[in-house]
Amino acid sequence: MMTMSIFIGVAVLLVLLLLLLTRSEDGEESASAEGADRIRRESRDTLQPWEIILRIFSREDREFILRMRSPRMLRIYQEERRRVALHWVRRTSCEVGEIMRTHRLASRQSENLDGAREAKLLFQYLRLQFVCGLLAFLIRMFGPHALSDLASYTGELYQRLGRALPDGGVASHLATTEDTATR
């Protein structure tokens, strides 16, 4: 029964890919040309994205809102910031997709096309898309500050543990562990 499922699966996959082939004939090349232009335009202004990141994920705004002690304001802020952060992640994911598409279309005619390098780039691309997906999921579930909160909480916990144990036991233990790991 298992073999039968595999064979039927191969046939179904083949039909699905052929359907994709009939649909994707014309659109990609023109879409990619536009995408490549957009990436070139945007990459000229490389400072802007960093500033955007600082604004979106900055804690200053949140601290300011928290100081106002208005639950309604806090709710609006969280809602808006989550939406903006999700938009930024989605845009980054689209840009990564455009970079890959532009590469594919430019490299396909090259005589020196190297399978191993293409596979490595594909792996990098998939990793980036995974990170984007994970980030979007975390932002949707816990808000844009979830990861930095988690990092600072871990740091705080570590410091508290260090203070609780006499003679800097944890710190020295961790230092030893790190030392062993680097060796």
Partner 1 sequence: MLTMVIWWLCILVEALLLVRGIQQRLVRQFPIFYMYILFVFVEELLRFFVYRWYPNHYFNVYWTTQFLSLVIGSAVIFEIYRIGLRSFPGTARMTRFILLIVFGAIFAKALANPSESLFYWFANSSLELERNLRIAQALAILTLVSLFLWYAIRFGKNLRGILCGYGLFIALSIVQLTVMAYFWNDFKPFWSYVHAISYLLVLCVWLRALWSAQAVPEAKPAMQLEDDYEALVASTSGQFRRALARLGWAVRV
Q: Which of residues 16-75 bind partner 1 (CB under 8 A)?
A: 17-18, 20-22, 24-26, 28-29, 32-33, 36, 39, 43, 49-50, 53-54, 56-59
Q: Which two three-digit tokens encode residue 43?
A: 């990459």
Q: In angstroms, give the least distance from the CB of 173 to partner 1.
A: 26
Say what angle helices 71-107 and 59-68 make with each other, to 10 degrees.
Answer: 160
- When the beta carbons of 33 and 157 are compared against partner 1, the nearer one is 33
- When the beta carbons of 93 and 171 are compared against partner 1, the nearer one is 93
Single-letter amino acid code for the residue at 21: L
Cα dihedral across residues 39, 41, 46, 50: positive or negative: negative
d(CA 149, CA 122): 32
Q: 145: closest CA among 87, 61, 19?
A: 61
Contact track, partner 1, 86-115, x by CB under 8 A: --xx--x--xx--xxxxxxxxxxxxxxxxx
d(CA 151, CA 156): 9
Distances (CA, A) of 62 to 17, 51, 142, 143, 151: 47, 17, 14, 12, 17
Per rule CB under 8 A, count of chain residues that contact partner 1:
69
Contact track, partner 1, 116-155, x by CB under 8 A: -xx--x--xx-xx--xx--x-----------xx--x----
> Which residues here bind partner 1, judged by CB under 8 A?
1, 4, 7-8, 10-15, 17-18, 20-22, 24-26, 28-29, 32-33, 36, 39, 43, 49-50, 53-54, 56-59, 85, 88-89, 92, 95-96, 99-115, 117-118, 121, 124-125, 127-128, 131-132, 135, 147-148, 151
